[in-house]
A and B are shown apart, each in its own frame.
Chain A
Amino acid sequence: MTLASTTVIDKTEVLQDGTIQVRQAEIITKDGVEIARNFHRWVRNPGDATAQSDPAPVPAIATAVWTTEVVSAYQAAQAAILAQRQSGQ
C-alpha cells in the first residue's frame, strides 16, 4: 500500500474587480487512487505583490488581469468603502 500526497491549485476565481480567489487542494492517494482531497483558500487583491510568490497559475493570472487600470479602480473602490465606513454610514 502506497500513500502519497500532492498539492495543486485546483481552482481560481477572478472576480469582477480583478480579485483572485485561490483554492489549493491537497490530494491524498492510496495506490494511485484518490481517497481524500482537502482544500485551503486565500484571496489576492489587485496589486498584491505576494501573488507573484503563489504557486502557478496565480502569478500568471495576476500579471494578465491586474492592469494599471484594474489596480487603480480597485484601490479607488477600497478607498471609497473605507471613507464610507469611517463616516459611520
Chain B
Amino acid sequence: MSGVPYTFGNATTTIALSNLDVNFATPVTIGNTTVGLGNTVTTLGNVTLTNPTITNPTVNTNLNFSSGTNGIVFNNSGATTNSTLNDYETGTWTPTLTNASSYSVQTGTYTKIGNKVIASCQITCAFTNSGSAQQSIGGLPFTSATASNPNYIGFFFPTSGFNFTSNLQVVAQMNNNATTATIYYSTASTSLNFNNAVSNQFGTSVSFQFSIAYTANF
C-alpha cells in the first residue's frame, strides 16, 4: 500500500504513507474521515464539516448563514429562538410626512440587529397646513410588531417651522403593525397628557429630525 487518497475540494490527492507521520501528525475530523494535518497549512476548498468543534479559530473571510433562520446561538438560554442572533443590516429609507407637499431634505438611515430596528431621519419640506389632519412620519424600513404596552416612542426634534407653544414635548409613537409613527405633543408644559399633532400646528415650511427604536414584525 503506497498511499492513502484524500479529497480536497474537487481534487483527490494521494498522500504517501511515509508522509503521514509528518503532515498528518495530529488527527482532526473532516466529515466522517479522520486525518491529521499537523502544522501544515492546507487549503481544503469547499469542504462540508458536520458538527465540528473548532477551538480558537481565526476567520479571514465572511461567515455566511444561508438559511433565513440560522444565526449565532448564544448559550445563555434554553430557549433557542430567544438567544439566536440571525439578522444584522444597515441601510437607508425614505421618510415621509403626512401633509408634506414637496421635500428638499428627505433622508433616513437604519440599523437592524435581530428583530430590533433603530431608525433615524431628517425632513425639510413644504407643508400644507390647512385643516386638522393628524400627522405621521411614514416610510419606516420595517413593519412594526404589535405592541400594546409598552409602545415604541421616538424622539422628535422640531428644527423650524412649528407652531407648538414653547416648553412642550413632542414625540412620535410607532403604530402597531405599521411603518408609520404618529406625532404627539404634550398639552401643557406641566401636563403628561399628549394630543395628536395636527396640520394647523405646522408652518408652511417645516424641518425636523426623528429617531426611534422599535421591534420589527420580521
Contact = CB atoms under 8 A, between A and B. Distances in A.
Interface of A: 13, 15, 17, 19, 21, 23, 38-43, 45, 77-78, 81, 85, 89
Interface stretch (B32-40, B86-94, B158-166): B86-94
In this complex, which of B90, B148, B176, B182 has the most chain A Cβ atoms within 10 angstroms of its Cβ? B176
B143 A39 contact: no
Interface in B105-141: 110, 139-141
B92 A38 contact: yes
Q: Is the interface of B mostly helix, strand, loop or mixed?
A: loop
Given A40-B91, A81-B178, 5 more contacts: A19-B143, A21-B143, A38-B91, A39-B90, A40-B92
Interface of B: 89-94, 110, 139-143, 146, 148, 175-179, 182, 217-218
B64 to A, nearest CB: 13
A21 B145 CA distance: 13
A41 B141 CA distance: 5
Contact of B175 (A43, A77, A81, A89): A81
